[in-house]
Structure formats: C-alpha cells, structure tokens
C-alpha cells in the first residue's frame, strides 16, 4: 500500500509542477514542492527542445572529447553553411576539457562539422567571423568537476 501512496504523491507533484509551469514566475508559487518543481523544470530544458545541431553534438560527445565528463563552460554559436559547401552545417564550440595529457586545456574554440545526426571536430580551422555570439550550452558540460 505504501507504493500506492508514493504513486499518488508523484502524480500530485507532477500535476502541481504542470500548473506551476504555467505560472510566469516560479517564485510566486506558494506550495514549496510545486515551486521547486517549477524551478527545476525551468532550469533544465527538455532534450526535445534542443536544436538538431546541439543534439548531434551531444550524441557525438564521446568521440569529440578525450574525457567527455570533464567538459566545462561549454558555449555554442549558431550553425552556418560550411565553406566546403554541399549543404553541410558547421558550428563553433567553446569548451574547457581535459586533453590527452590529462590536464585541463583551458577555454578553446573548435569547429564542428554537423553530418546528419553526428558531429565531427575539425579543430581550430573554424571561420571565426561566422561563429557569431556564443551562447551557454549547459547540456554539454560534464558531470565531474576535474
């Protein structure tokens, strides 16, 4: 019977969270659980809302970085037409991640080639003029601090 009580609590929290999301300001919600659910939901956008380029980068994270969990301070630019043409998309990515020596490399901008649902790094041969404004990309940040 305890599982039924827990299930009802989860349903009530989900309902409260849905109602809370409709509120324009999470801080104005009186119920603590609903307010926290609202803040959590607004802090983590669902993966379905990611652009195709960001989704491709996330799918390719383990191939792009030596230690994907070490990625910090990720920022991404807007996709642009690759200079090679052919309809391919390129994107600039600024990150701090571990290098092959095991140390943090420091913030570096790399170019990525988006090929369908995957991304490949082509290093620092990116077109800086096309990077545009780099926006935070928290979904790419790793789990480990160092």
pLDDT tier at 6 (50, 70, 90 boundaries)? Answer: very low
pLDDT of amino acid 49:
54
pLDDT tier at 39 (50, 70, 90 boundaries)? Answer: low
pLDDT of amino acid 125:
66
Q: Report, as an integer, the average pLDDT of 105-128.
A: 85
Q: Report, as an integer, the average pLDDT of 49-76.
A: 91
CA distance 139 to 103: 22
- Written as one string, the DSSP assignment of the chain is -HHHHHHHHHHHHHHHHHHHHHSS-GGG--SHHHHHHHHHHHHS--GGGS-HHHHHHHHTHHHH-SSGGG-EEEEE---EE-TT-TT-EEEEEEEE-B-TTSSB--SEEEEEEEETTEEEEEET---HHHH-S-EE-GGGS-S---
CA dihedral 134, 136, 104, 145 (to 10 degrees): 180
Under 8 Å between Cβ of 95 and 107:
yes
Residue 74 has pLDDT above 70, yes or no: yes
pTM above 0.85, yes or no: no
Computed over every residue of the chain, the mean pLDDT equals 76
pLDDT of amino acid 115:
86
Between 4 and 109, the more confident residue is: 109
Residue 101 has pLDDT above 50, yes or no: yes
């Amino acid at each position: 019977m305890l599982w039924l009580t827990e299930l009802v609590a989860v349903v009530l929290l989900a309902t409260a969270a849905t109602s809370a999301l409709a509120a324009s300001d999470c801080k104005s919600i009186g119920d603590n659980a609903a307010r926290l659910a609202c803040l959590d939901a607004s802090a983590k956008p669902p993966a379905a809302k990611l652009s195709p380029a960001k989704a491709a980068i996330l799918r390719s994270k383990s191939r792009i970085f030596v230690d994907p969990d070490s990625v910090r301070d990720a920022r991404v630019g807007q996709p642009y037409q690759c200079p090679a043409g052919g309809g391919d998309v390129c994107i600039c990515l600024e990150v701090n991640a571990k290098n092959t020596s095991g140390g943090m490399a420091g913030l570096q901008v790399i170019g990525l080639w988006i090929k369908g649902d995957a991304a490949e790094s082509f290093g620092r041969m990116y077109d800086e003029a096309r990077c545009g404004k780099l926006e935070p990309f928290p979904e790419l940040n790793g789990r480990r601090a160092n």
